[in-house]
Chains A and B, each alone.
Chain A
Amino acid sequence: MESTLLSVNGQKYNVSLEPSESLNHVIRERLGLIGTKRGCETGGCGSCTVIVDGKAIYSCMMYAMQAVGKQIITIEGLQGNNAELDVIQRSFMVAGGLQCGYCTPGFIMSAKALLDSNPDPQLGEIKDALVGNLCRCTGYTKIFDSILLAAKERQKSNK
């Protein structure tokens, strides 16, 4: 095992990686960042979504060693300095964009990747950006509402 530096949420972690360890495994089991969920393990549900170098990806489908040298952001990376929730998280609460909550971190990370590159998305663009995340409770409508709300709130705070 080699010791390597992994950059997660702006922090450098010194970890010994087995080549067979997925990024999801390392984030959850080594770094203890369990906000990122472990779902289907086959790239088929989206609950493990994190952002790597600005793009939403499935952390279950990437070997952690392939993420060395890249900027990884997990749901924990969204909170502010005083542990206050991010505007996207608050919008999900306000607009009721979750029920059981298991898929929520994944949805929020996909939403963040979208809003970071497209601050004012149309409903259709939101749907297109979220087709890689499954939710079995909400029926999606309130998730779309949450993201529309988050986009508005982010624009307000940028003014």
Chain B
Amino acid sequence: MDEGQGHAAGPTVGEKNIVGRRKMRTEVSKFALIQATSVGDAIAKLSSYGVDNSAVISGGTDVISRNKERIATMMPQYLIDISGLPLNYITPSSGGFKIGATTPVIDVANNTSVPAVLSQAANAVATPQIQSMGTVAGDVLQEVWCEYVRNDFPCWRNGGNVCYGAIGDNRYYHSIFGGRLCYANHAGDLAPALTALNATATIQSQTGTSTVSMEDLIPGINVISGRVKENIVAWNEILTEFQIPAPASGSVSAFYKVRDRGTWDFALASASVVLNVSGSTISSARVVLGGVDVKPHIATSAQSYLAGKSVPLSEADIAGAAAAAVDGAQPLTTGTGNSYRVTIASGAVSKALRSIYTPNQPTVYAPLSS
């Protein structure tokens, strides 16, 4: 079968390399919850317990969901709690911002100084309760919400060697831009906004710290420490901080998310746009789609289409950018298929672009709200 069927073993990944730790579904989830006293302490504990047995817990909303579903390979014996570490801050820095890893999403949503695209994206995460519990790094690093892995199907992500999503129900949680091995969307709303802002992330490991771009943080499906995942953060590494560079002068931004209900649901597609404007001309643009690819999807064609256009954008230019944004889409045709979301992604881009020059536009598609 070809890659599109989701069965391909992939060019570099053999079954043997994947961590395979399937347990009985009925096994009770017993574990220890240990407070880390510092980032170094967390890394040391994770390293000593090992990839099979330990994981980071921060706000816990994703970790608890997975523990409750008893996902065979995702029930470590030791949860290392970093939520008490002093990583909870939003600090202005050289014209931009530094945001600590454990900052609650709601603090970003309520912050009126960070770029609009970021606070709007935070505001569109789930509900106020989840925003109060969930952290910024947790949102960026959350597991995918493909209903197969979340229900403990033995797929690539869960110690197996098949992708059910690519051949089954892929209406909501799967890529419309192709993939390999695992076709599940990166689901978080913050990552595309951070990507549009050219944010960077600092990761601390046993050997030191490194700062990487969002593109390098979430490069797409890979095997990291034996796990099939889309980000590069290994089990014994801690993401400590995001840095948002100073915006170019004259830069404007917006976020728009389409979801089934006006609340709670993950994005069927979202658009994060940043326009750098000099005079009345767009000098450069960032257009990043969320919820439609295994990583935040940088819509390069739309970015080059927008460069040189004048603002306020004409409806024709908005339509052109929206069409260009889904260039190269490869919706799944096996199983239920998900091509309808190509249209939705395109629509999200036009909504986001239009909202920049039309005040008081909603930032989510809310079918019933007045």
Contacts from A to B (Cβ < 8 Å): 19-20, 22, 41-44, 46, 49, 55-58, 61-63, 65-66, 110, 113, 127-129, 131-132
Contact = CB atoms under 8 A, between A and B. Distances in A.
Given A19-B79, A61-B60, A61-B61, A132 B129 contact: yes
8 contacts: A19-B32, A61-B64, A65-B33, A65-B81, A66-B33, A66-B81, A110-B128, A127-B369
A46 B129 contact: yes
A131 B262 contact: yes
A57 B68 contact: no
Contact of B33 (A43, A49, A55, A63): A63
Interface in B52-92: 57, 60-61, 64-65, 67-68, 79, 81, 83
A131 B30 contact: no
Contacts of A65: 33, 81
Contacts of A127: 369
A149 to B, nearest CB: 20
A61 B135 CA distance: 13
A142 B30 CA distance: 43
Contacts of A42: 65, 68
A44 B68 contact: no
Given A56-B132, A132-B263, 15 more contacts: A43-B61, A43-B130, A46-B129, A55-B104, A55-B132, A57-B132, A58-B129, A61-B129, A61-B130, A62-B60, A66-B60, A66-B81, A129-B128, A132-B128, A132-B264
Interface residues of B, number: 29
Nearest to B32: A19
Interface in B118-167: 126-130, 132-133
Contacts of B68: 41-42
Contacts of B128: 56, 110, 113, 128-129, 131-132
A15 to B, nearest CB: 14
Given A19-B33, A20-B67, A57-B133, A63 B127 contact: no
Interface in B313-370: 369
B129 A57 contact: yes
Contact of A56 (B31, B67, B104, B129): B129
A55 B106 contact: yes
B29 interface: yes
Given A44-B264, A57-B133, A131 B60 contact: no
Contacts of B132: 55-57
